[in-house]
Amino acid sequence: MAADNWGDESFAYEDRNSDDLQALRLTSLMIGLSNSKKPLSTAELRDLYYADMSEDAFAKKFQRDRKSLATCGIVVREVDRTGEGALWALDADATFAADASLSIEDATLIDVVCMPLANDPSFPYRDELTLALAKVNRSYTTVVATRDASEAGAFDVRLAELVGALQNRHPITATYQAKSAGEKNYTLALLGSFGMRDNTYFVACDYDRRSRQLSGSPRTFRLDRFGKVKPLVSQTYQIPADFSVSDYVRLPFQLGPTVCTASFLVPQPPNSPDLTPEARRAIASYGSLSKDKRTWSADVSNLDAAATWAIDVELVPQSPSQLADSYKKRLSAAATLQPTSQEEAPAKADSRSRRTGRRGRKGGLLEARQLSALVGALDREGSTLSADVVARRLGCSQDHAKHLLSMLVDASDDKSLYRLPLLPADDMSKTILMFRTLAGRPLRLTRTESAALISALGHAGVTPDDPLFAKLARGLVARPLQDDLPNDASPKADASTPEADVLRVCSQAIARGCALAFDYVSSLSGQHTHRMVLPKGVDHSNGSWYLDAFDLSRGGARTFRLDHMTNLQLAQGATRTQPPKLAPEADAPKQVSFVLLDPSLVDAFHWNQTSFTPLPSGHVLAHCTYFGGNWLPRRLAACGNAIATSDAALCEAIRSYASRLLV
């Protein structure tokens, strides 16, 4: 399976490490077993794929490869036995998608609706969802939804191990570093997961390997504090019938022992559109609302954190007095904030370093899972894979996408009996299946991929009685859908709310490449306007959905909250191929930078695509693109005197917001 030379850039693809060789062997096995007209004997498999191994080494390696292929969704079974040994073939029903699978439009809409969750760092199944969508939408010549390719959006090996163990009910051994404590070793049974403020959490209890029993009370663990994670695949457990992960979801100020119960003044009415989405969800899901619906009460573990949260979500604390005082103290500091350069920022800071965690190597198994999805797209003559689209769909670099295409070109047995007839470009920017003598077949989703897709559709308000679920059950999921329900407690859209319908119409506009008209209520001024836009994509952020679009009437990029949009209509007169007007200079988005003097504030809020850079002083430098609205001023006002910025206009916005709340 040595690499061939492909043009002047072939050197970039010739060197294969051990992970590449594993992925190459697994992909070659898949192609060979998929295209063989008869089962392959043990001797044939060894001769074709393991010729340089001893008998014992081959036996062990093949069994490990079978398990790895199953993780990719490819089930290899012993189908018969002769005097010369076992015969092996793919279980077609468990491996391949049925013919009655999704239409191209169905697959595209699912891609548009679900991909924002793959970019949401609080969505526990984000990596599995990316791999699921790579199988659902098999078009790799154009892209309508993109996975974040930044380091923050990179695949996390720990997350894959954790969600796989949770879905398959395998206990784990793990190292974990709690806040302000040293690293400890745990053996855990994972019970559920949820997301909050750009972090993923798992609820788990101790597991006794000897008795194979759960012990102790469930506790909450944060993803980025896990170190090494290893599933115990030889053991399984049952989640208690009375367990509900929702019971362990907390507001940011409720993490830890309860110190008091606080009350907050509620704007009237409680479901007012002026109420922030975070406040609306908190009042609906946590604590208790008074009979007159004028005050809301909730348990508090950290008074300062509760004061910060209240400013950010625009709720006014009434009691206890310590909470009200902390709230006013932060606002008073924000109300007098003056421009300060980074060099003038106080030297003293909380220098505790944030644990970023170990993402681990991508590994051959991840590459094999990516390759298996791409092989499934090469199912007919002329099927084309573009490296650019692969990179944007999988959230990887262009170099890695080209590397994957080169692996597909090289994937073959040692005798070249089973090699896809691919014609690659010299620079490996794309490859085409020339004819269908050998080809791939679309794959079913694995159990964890199914759970990821089901959870993502739930976020978008697509319920199990939707016809889309019936198509998934017939064509893409290898077992009944109810067997793959995720045990997560992330907030989901209500299918009965207008937001779910708005999301569907926006997704149709994006998938079809047409313009969209709608009425919009500004969250800043309350002004009602009619808009005509060219949609670019939808985003999911901290439980809310947004539309990114080019506003034709204003000639600039804008972001719209879906729950502020009504009377949507697909417009036939304009499409994304129509060149938009250039945005006036005044409409260009503003680049904002500020310094957080307390690094813990990075985790205290959802920062809307803000980048953070630790500074030698112990402070954190933040950069973001600001399109307007009050989200940034109120968030920075909540920081009190723990921020510094030289931006005079931003300081004025913070002072104005804080002063308004102090009245």
pLDDT digits (tens, 9 = 90+) for 625-663: 786 677 889 899 999 989 999 999 899 999 999 998 887
Mean pLDDT of 383-391: 96
Q: How confident is the model at residue 579 (pLDDT cuts 50, 70, 90)?
A: very low
Question: E-assigned strands of 11-99?
Answer: 40-41, 76-82, 85-90
Are 239 and 187 spatial neighbours (Cβ–Cβ below 8 Å)? no
Q: How confident is the model at residue 148 (pLDDT cuts 50, 70, 90)?
A: confident
Q: What is the pLDDT of residues 536-545, one digit of tens each?
A: 888 887 677 8
Nearest to 498 by CA among 549, 568, 558, 548: 568
pLDDT at position 547 over 60: yes
pLDDT at position 38 over 60: yes
pLDDT at position 196 over 90: no
Tokens of residue 430, six digits: 């794309």
pLDDT at residue number 359: 41
- Helices and strands (H, E) in the chain, number of each type: 20, 24
pLDDT at residue number 480: 58
The answer to the question of residue 374 being in a domain is: no
Fill in the amino acid letter for 295: T
- What is the distance in angstroms between the CA of the first residue and the CA of the last residue of the chain? 73
Torsion-angle region of 484 (φ positive above 0: left; ψ -120 to 50: alpha; else: beta)? alpha
pLDDT at position 492 over 60: no
User: How many domains are there within the chain?
Assistant: 1
pLDDT at residue number 272: 62
Distance between CA atoms of residues 330 and 307, nearest Å: 8
Which carries the bigger pLDDT value, residue 522 or residue 564? 564
The answer to the question of residue 564 being in a domain is: no
The answer to the question of residue 648 being in a domain is: no
- C-alpha atoms less than 13 angstroms from C-alpha of 172 in its C-beta half-sphere: 29
pLDDT at position 269 over 70: no
pLDDT at position 399 over 90: yes
pTM above 0.75, yes or no: yes
Which carries the bigger pLDDT value, residue 523 or residue 191? 191
Q: What is the pLDDT of residues 62-95, one digit of tens each?
A: 999 999 999 999 999 999 998 778 999 999 989 9
Share of the chain above pLDDT 90, in %: 52
Q: How confident is the model at residue 349 (pLDDT cuts 50, 70, 90)?
A: very low
Of 130-139, 517-526, 556-565, 571-580, least confident by mean pLDDT is 571-580
Mean pLDDT of 578-587: 46
The answer to the question of residue 298 being in a domain is: yes
Are 226 and 173 spatial neighbours (Cβ–Cβ below 8 Å)? no
Nearest to 109 by CA among 591, 419, 511, 479: 511
Exposure letters 547-556 (e unless 16+ CB within 10 A, then b): bbbbbbebeb
Q: 15-22 — which CB contacts under 8 Å span 24+ positions?
A: 18/364, 19/361, 19/362, 19/363, 19/364, 19/367, 20/364, 20/367, 20/403, 20/407, 21/364, 22/68, 22/363, 22/364, 22/365, 22/367, 22/368
Mean pLDDT of 361-380: 89
Share of the chain above pLDDT 70, in %: 86
Tell me what the pLDDT averaged over the chain comes to.
85
Mean pLDDT of 453-464: 85
Burial (CB count <10 Å: 0-12, 13-18, 19+), residue 187: middle
The answer to the question of residue 259 being in a domain is: yes
pLDDT at position 8 over 50: no
The answer to the question of residue 291 being in a domain is: yes
Question: E-assigned strands of 429-469?
Answer: 430-433
Of 12-16, 48-52, 109-113, 482-486, least confident by mean pLDDT is 12-16
Tokens of residue 267, six digits: 């704007």
pLDDT at residue number 150: 74
* Alpha helices in 529-647, H assignment, sequence order: 601-604, 631-637
Which carries the bigger pLDDT value, residue 70 or residue 100? 70
* Alpha helices in 476-616, H assignment, sequence order: 498-512, 601-604
pLDDT at residue number 583: 45
Mean pLDDT of 107-113: 89
pLDDT at position 348 over 70: no
Distance between CA atoms of residues 73 and 478, nearest Å: 9
Q: How confident is the model at residue 384 (pLDDT cuts 50, 70, 90)?
A: very high
Identify the three-state secondary structure at position 221.
strand
pLDDT at residue number 100: 61
pLDDT at position 360 over 80: no
Distance between CA atoms of residues 621 and 643, nearest Å: 10
Nearest to 290 by CA among 314, 273, 266: 266
Are 64 and 56 spatial neighbours (Cβ–Cβ below 8 Å)? no
pLDDT at position 481 over 90: no
CA angle 421, 424, 425 (to 5 degrees): 160
pLDDT at residue number 557: 81
The answer to the question of residue 64 being in a domain is: no
Are 188 and 207 spatial neighbours (Cβ–Cβ below 8 Å)? yes
Fill in the amino acid letter for 180: S
Q: How confident is the model at residue 473 (pLDDT cuts 50, 70, 90)?
A: confident
Fill in the amino acid letter for 107: A
Nearest to 367 by CA among 124, 22, 6, 3: 22
The answer to the question of residue 500 being in a domain is: no
Domain residue limits at 300? 253-335
* Alpha helices in 72-156, H assignment, sequence order: 92-95, 104-118, 126-136
Distance between CA atoms of residues 13 and 366, nearest Å: 18
- C-alpha atoms less than 13 angstroms from C-alpha of 22 in its C-beta half-sphere: 20
Mean pLDDT of 406-423: 94
pLDDT at residue number 2: 37
Q: How confident is the model at residue 22 (pLDDT cuts 50, 70, 90)?
A: very high
Q: How confident is the model at residue 572 (pLDDT cuts 50, 70, 90)?
A: low
CA 524 to chain centre: 29
Per the DSSP assignment, residues forming a β-bridge with 384 are 432
Nearest to 236 by CA among 294, 337, 165: 165
pLDDT at position 476 over 50: yes
